[in-house]
Amino acid sequence: MAEGGGSVLEGFLCPVCKADFGTAVKLLSHFEKEHNEDKDVLQAFKDLFGKAKKKILKSDGVYGNEGEIQASSRKVMGYSPSLYEPQPIGAVRSHSQQFSAVRSQHLEHYTVETNKLLIRLDKILKDLPSDPLKRKAHEQEVVPWVDEKMVRLCPSCSRSFHLTRRKHHCRLCGFVMCNDCSYSLALDTARKMTSPISQVEPQTELQGSSLPSQKLKRSNSNSSLNSVLSLVEGVHQIDTGLRVCKECLHLLESREALRESRAARPILIQFYERLRTYMQDANQFLPTYIKMCNSISCGESTYQLKEAQALWAKLLRLAENIDSLSKKILVLGSADTENPPRGRALQLQQQIRAAATAFLRNEMLGLPTLPTEAKYLEMQEQRRQELKARIQQEQLEAQASLQLQKQKVREKGRDKQTFDRNHVNVHQDTVLLDSGWTPEKARLFNSDDPMVQQMNNLKHYIKEAKLAQRVDEVEALERNLEELQEEYWRQQEQKRQETAS
Amino acid sequence: MANRGGAAQRPNSQTQGKICQFKLVLLGESAVGKSSLVLRFVKGQFHEYQESTIGAAFLTQTVCLEDTTVKFEIWDTAGQERYHSLAPMYYRGAQAAIIVYDITNMDSFGRAKVWVKELQRQASPNIVIALAGNKADLANSRAVECDEAQAYADENGLLFMETSAKTAKNVNEIFLAIAKKLPKNEQVSGAGSANQGRRLVESDSSAKTAGNCCK
Ligand SMILES: Nc1nc2c(ncn2[C@@H]2O[C@H](COP(=O)(O)OP(=O)(O)OP(=O)(O)O)[C@@H](O)[C@H]2O)c(=O)[nH]1
Ligand SMILES: [Mg+2]
Ligand SMILES: [Zn+2]
Ligand SMILES: [Zn+2]
Ligand SMILES: [Zn+2]
């Protein structure tokens, strides 16, 4: 908009005479009166206001007459894109660096403060004397107390201290506060806080256990619900527990909540993890089993039928486990009739079950079965016969081509020595043709011939299709690979002939 | 996901009547959205940063018509010039082709016409050809008029739709339209002649391929 460095006009300007009319209504009526000759421009102009109006309404979170507005903006779409085309984005600046700097500063502050408290807590708890006087001395040794004479009002509630509202010190920061503003941190809770993470018991209920803050009883106060609870036991505990201020307690509580949420492993997650290991095991055995099964079904003796049967049994067990565990996950918590899982939680459980059944259906259900012992022996025999026949066939062919070659040689009237050399050559040729260009194949992977690339693709696809048990796909892919290989072979042959001649 | 599950299922149950398998090839200039179209059709996905195809990608998808299940064996060819030598391998045996252009790119429409000519000359005479004007969601920057493409398609007997892989507009529709137009019974000859000139296959697999349809 700000073109050519000229001044920027703003307001309800008439696009023709550039006068400012102050309001949209005035401008429109002016435009209709003065520049009515062009209906289309007028319409577009009106629509433009519709669009602006819509924007304004949206940004205020007010939704006006949507239908009307949309209809008019659609008209704009059909008319002249130049009127509303989005502006290019101007200078862009990232604030994320600044944000993360501020954030890490903030976090660092918290971590440092919390760690300081934990170290102090640890020191206090170590060899804490039971005798009250000695204990006080010990506490003060770890955390020096602020001189109480300097403090005249409780920094937390701003009330003055007197005979019945006495001064107390926070054992962790040494600051002064009144009794109502202090909290008692039970010693065993404190010990848990300073213990290494591994000792935090994993929480096994689905619903999350009580928060640490509930374990910490507030000391005497008449103004909050907590105090009602603490009236029962808090008063006694203040003697045994550590007196701390709100800030210190808050830091410790946040850390504890974080720690607990990290250690929490709801039963759903435990079940799910077990389900995953079953699936992973199955995934690991499946290719081996399929390979074994295919090989055995061809009558090959690479694998033992017994091995394959054992693997089959293992896979069956895994399938059963996957089925039953995923069923368990599905109904998890539904026995709780008052508060059964719903919404997202329920959806998650259903989806886990769906994924498990899909896994069973796709991966396990269509598995090829092993032949019986008798059938296997029969197939082995059949294969042996086939192999024999093929070898015979190949020998016959080789002999035939040899004969042909001999004839040619004789025709050319060469002597016997040359013939022998030719004899060897003939054999090499036959092998080369039959076993499908092994030397070329080795070079395939370095080639940037598109056809070669595609053949590699296909081999990869075939492997995947086999793993996925997609019989039709494997067939189609193999057909294509054959076609490509043949085409490739034809081209190579052609090239060779071209260079030979 | 749920609604395509039905169509994607392997047609194991024979209760549905016949099952036909067809080879379909996608052709068109690079970056017009061929891979995006198939990916939308097969997986229901769309990627803003779809990688350019190398060689040809292979996908399958099943659609159910009234009494027939049609399984598409889809070859998504690479549009980059250097892979053109591969294209004949894929359209030769195909019973259907989708030629894709990008409605915001006039050149790609020109290239599409060249593909149509090539198929008319070289592919099976019975091949069903569809023309897809993709990226219909970008109608703002349209360079090829819908009417022009429709007229061209009518002249050449092609199916035609404007599609968007991004919004899924007309994606399933174009494949379904092809499925409906494909011959589904006797027409073994369609598949046979498509394969004509190719090598003879071994006895056992020829039995499977001969009736490319309705096995
Ligand atoms: N807006 C929009 N973008 C699309 C659409 N279809 C594809 N694209 C984008 O266009 C780009 C190219 O899409 P591809 O599907 O890779 O194109 P292709 O035809 O397969 O390209 P080659 O594999 O190189 O032949 C990608 O960035 C896609 O996200 C569409 O319908 N709308
Ligand atoms: Mg592609
Ligand atoms: Zn004016
Ligand atoms: Zn106070
Ligand atoms: Zn404190």
Encode pLDDT of B55-104 as tens digits.
899 998 888 887 788 889 999 999 999 899 999 999 998 999 999 999 99
Is A453 in contact with B56 (Cβ distance < 8 A)? no
pLDDT of amino acid A167: 92
pLDDT of amino acid A448: 72
Quote the tokens at residue A137: 């001395």
Residue A363: DSSP 8-state: I
Q: Is B35 in the pocket of ligand 1 (CB under 6 A)?
A: yes
* Integer angstrom CA distances of residue A160 from A117, A247, A437, A450, B157: 28, 20, 99, 88, 96
pLDDT digits (tens, 9 = 90+) for A459-475: 888 888 887 777 788 88
Nearest CA in chain B to A78: B140
pLDDT of amino acid B175: 93
> Is the per-residue pLDDT at B3 higher than 60?
no
What integer best gives the mean pLDDT of chain B?
81
Alpha-carbon distance of A58 to A154, in angstroms, equals: 49
* Region B167-178 average pLDDT: 94
Min Cα separation B154/chain A (Å): 26
Q: Which residue has the higher pLDDT, A407 or A191?
A: A191
The stretches of B123-187 forming alpha helices (DSSP H) are: 146-156, 171-181
Ligand 1 nearest-atom number relative to CA B32: 19
Quote the tokens at residue A286: 């499946």
Ligand 1 nearest-atom number relative to CA B48: 29
Pairing of strands B68-77, B18-27: parallel
> Is the per-residue pLDDT at B192 higher than 80?
no
pLDDT of amino acid B8: 38
* Integer angstrom CA distances of residue A313 from A296, A298, A308, A447: 16, 21, 9, 44
pLDDT of amino acid B107: 96
Dmax (CA) for chain B in angstroms is: 55
Catalogue the E-assigned strands of B15-92: 18-27, 56-64, 68-77
Q: Which residue has the higher pLDDT, A256 or B26?
A: B26
Min Cα separation B208/chain A (Å): 10
Q: Are A128 and A135 in contact (CB under 8 A)?
A: yes
* Region A147-165 average pLDDT: 89
Which of B95, B115, B107, B104 has the alpha carbon at shortest distance from B162? B104
Alpha-carbon distance of A130 to A133, in angstroms, equals: 9
**Lowest-confidence region among A408-412, A492-496, B123-127, B194-198:** B194-198
Alpha-carbon distance of A341 to A112, in angstroms, equals: 40
List of residues 6+ apart from A491 with CB closer than 8 A: A451
Is A487 in contact with B54 (Cβ distance < 8 A)? no
pLDDT of amino acid A47: 67
pLDDT band at B188 (very low <50, low <70, confident <90, very high): very low
Q: Is B34 in the pocket of ligand 1 (CB under 6 A)?
A: yes
pLDDT of amino acid A473: 85
Which of A152, A150, A175 has the alpha carbon at shortest distance from A165? A152
Is B60 in contact with A461 (Cβ distance < 8 A)? no
pLDDT digits (tens, 9 = 90+) for A265-309: 788 888 999 999 999 999 888 888 888 888 887 777 677 788 888
Contacts of A477 in chain B (CB under 8 A): 58
List of residues 6+ apart from B142 with CB closer than 8 A: B103, B104
Quote the tokens at residue A333: 């918590």
Nearest CA in chain A to B61: A473
Q: Is B16 in the pocket of ligand 1 (CB under 6 A)?
A: no
Angle (CA) A262 A264 A266, round 5°:
140
pLDDT of amino acid A9: 62
Ranked by mean pLDDT, the top range of A2-16, A152-166, A378-392, B177-191 is A152-166
Alpha-carbon distance of B175 to B39, in angstroms, equals: 12
Is B89 in contact with A470 (Cβ distance < 8 A)? no
Contacts of A453 in chain B (CB under 8 A): 54-55
Q: Which residue has the higher pLDDT, A422 or A359?
A: A359
CB atoms within 10 A of CB A448: 7
pLDDT of amino acid A433: 24
Nearest CA in chain B to A456: B55
Alpha-carbon distance of B62 to B6, in angstroms, equals: 9
Ramachandran region of residue B196, left (φ > 0), alpha (ψ -120 to 50) or beta? beta
Q: What homologous superfamily is domain A99-195+238-263 in, according to CATH?
A: Zinc/RING finger domain, C3HC4 (zinc finger) (3.30.40.10)
List of residues 6+ apart from A487 with CB closer than 8 A: A451, B89
Residue B182: DSSP 8-state: S
* Region B146-157 average pLDDT: 96
Nearest CA in chain A to B2: A354
Angle between helices A267-297 and A450-467 (to 10 degrees): 110
pLDDT of amino acid A52: 62
H or E element in which residue B189 lies: helix B188-195
Q: What share of chain A is helix, strand, coil (3-state, %, to 5)?
A: 65, 5, 30
pLDDT of amino acid A57: 58
H or E element in which residue B100 lies: strand B96-102
Alpha-carbon distance of A308 to A373, in angstroms, equals: 12
CB atoms within 10 A of CB A257: 13
pLDDT of amino acid B119: 96
**Where do we find the tokens 């020109």?**
B110
pLDDT of amino acid A431: 22
Alpha-carbon distance of B155 to B142, in angstroms, equals: 22
Pairing of strands A183-185, A217-218: antiparallel
Is A483 in contact with B209 (Cβ distance < 8 A)? no
What are phi and psi for residue B26, nearest 5 degrees? -105, 130
Is A457 in contact with B54 (Cβ distance < 8 A)? yes
Q: Is B120 in the pocket of ligand 1 (CB under 6 A)?
A: no
Helix H, strand E, coil C: the string for A1-45 is CCCCCCCCCCCCECCCCCCECCCHHHHHHHHHHHCCCCHHHHHHH
List of residues 6+ apart from A414 with CB closer than 8 A: A422
**What percent of chain A has pLDDT above 90?**
19
User: B152: number of CA atoms within 13 Å, CB side?
Assistant: 21
Given strand B56-64, what is the order of strands in its sheet? B56-64, B68-77, B18-27, B96-102, B128-134, B159-162
Helix H, strand E, coil C: the string for A58-117 is HHCCCCCCHHHHHHHHHHHHHHCHHHCCCCCCCCCCCCHHHHHHHHHHHHHHHHHHHHHH
The pTM of the full predicted model, rounded to 2 decimals, is 0.41
Alpha-carbon distance of B5 to A355, in angstroms, equals: 13
The minimal CB distance from B198 to the residues A81, A475, A483 is found for A483
> Is the per-residue pLDDT at A385 higher than 70?
yes
**Where do we find the tokens 């409780």?**
A154
Burial profile B142-160: b = 16 or more Cβ within 10 angstroms, e = fewer: bebeeeebbebbeeeebbb
What integer best gives the mean pLDDT of chain A?
74
Quick one: B171 exposed, middle or buried, by C-beta within 10 A (0-12, 13-18, 19+)? buried
Which of A443, A446, A456, A447 has the alpha carbon at shortest distance from A484? A456
User: Are A99-195+238-263 and A447-492 the same fold in CATH?
Assistant: no
Q: Which residue has the higher pLDDT, B146 or A360?
A: B146
> Is the per-residue pLDDT at A388 higher than 80?
no
CATH domain B18-180 topology: Rossmann fold (3.40.50)
Q: Which residue has the higher pLDDT, A478 or B109?
A: B109
Angle (CA) A16 A22 A23, round 5°:
95
User: B118: number of CA atoms within 13 Å, CB side?
Assistant: 17
pLDDT band at A81 (very low <50, low <70, confident <90, very high): low
Q: Whose C-alpha lies nearest to ligand 1, atom 13?
A: B33
Q: What homologous superfamily is domain A447-492 in, according to CATH?
A: Rabenosyn, Rab binding domain (4.10.860.20)
* Region A214-225 average pLDDT: 42
Quote the tokens at residue A104: 């890490």
Cα-atom radius of gyration of chain A, to the nearest Å? 43
Is B60 in contact with A472 (Cβ distance < 8 A)? yes
pLDDT of amino acid A197: 58
Distance A448 CA to ligand 2 centre (A): 18
How many whole angstroms from its chain centre is CA A173?
42
Quote the tokens at residue A230: 């603490």
**Where do we find the tokens 């009883």?**
A217
H or E element in which residue A167 lies: strand A167-169
Q: Is B48 in the pocket of ligand 1 (CB under 6 A)?
A: yes
> Is the per-residue pLDDT at B41 higher than 60?
yes
Min Cα separation A390/chain B (Å): 15
Quote the tokens at residue B74: 């889809």
> Is the per-residue pLDDT at B158 higher than 90?
yes
> Is the per-residue pLDDT at B154 higher than 90?
yes
Alpha-carbon distance of A391 to A385, in angstroms, equals: 10
Alpha-carbon distance of A160 to A176, in angstroms, equals: 12
Min Cα separation A473/chain B (Å): 8
**Where do we find the tokens 């049609």?**
B70
Q: Whose C-alpha lies nearest to ligand 1, atom 32?
A: B135
* Region A213-234 average pLDDT: 41
Q: Is B78 in the pocket of ligand 1 (CB under 6 A)?
A: yes
pLDDT band at A53 (very low <50, low <70, confident <90, very high): low
pLDDT digits (tens, 9 = 90+) for A176-193: 999 999 999 998 889 888
pLDDT band at A82 (very low <50, low <70, confident <90, very high): low
Specify the long-range contacts of residues A471-476, CB closer than 8 Å, at least 24 apart. Answer: A472/B21, A472/B60, A472/B71, A472/B73, A473/B58, A473/B60, A473/B73, A475/B205, A475/B208, A476/B23, A476/B58, A476/B60, A476/B73
* Integer angstrom CA distances of residue A279 from A191, A308, A331, A465: 41, 19, 20, 19
Q: Are B98 and B24 in contact (CB under 8 A)?
A: yes
